[in-house]
């Protein structure tokens, strides 16, 4: 991506949403769903927001998880993380 000296251009370059961020977030969600399917019973999957702007990433992912993902995801605001526990099925 060509960097320009405009302030608005710099904001878009570090954006998690907008023109470039949407595709990246969609790829991440698709990979996440594959990991949840492959997760062995009794294990936990944890995601932590550790990017350049963790507060912004946490807000975006929190909205997504509450609206579209499985309600078994636990949102931990104090750690800026998301946890998924796959329970052991008893037959």
Model pLDDT, residue 36 = 92
- Of the CA atoms within 13 Å of residue 20, those in its CB half-sphere come to 10
* Segments of the chain scoring below 50 in pLDDT: none
Backbone φ/ψ region at 49: left (φ over 0), alpha (ψ -120 to 50), beta: beta
| Interval 55-75: pLDDT, tens | 988 998 899 899 988 899 999
Model pLDDT, residue 56 = 87
Model pLDDT, residue 10 = 62
Indicate the burial class of 3 (C-beta count within 10 angstroms; 0-12, 13-18, 19 or more): exposed
C-alpha distance across the termini of the chain, in Å: 53
């Amino acid at each position: 991506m060509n960097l320009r000296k405009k302030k608005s251009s710099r904001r878009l370059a570090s954006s998690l949403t907008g023109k470039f961020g949407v595709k990246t977030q969609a790829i991440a969600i698709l990979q996440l769903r594959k990991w949840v399917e492959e997760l062995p019973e009794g294990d936990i999957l944890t995601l932590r927001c550790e990017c350049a702007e963790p507060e912004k990433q946490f807000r975006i992912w929190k909205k997504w998880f509450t609206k579209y993902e499985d309600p078994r995801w636990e949102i931990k605001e104090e750690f800026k993380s998301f946890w998924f526990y796959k329970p052991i099925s008893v037959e």
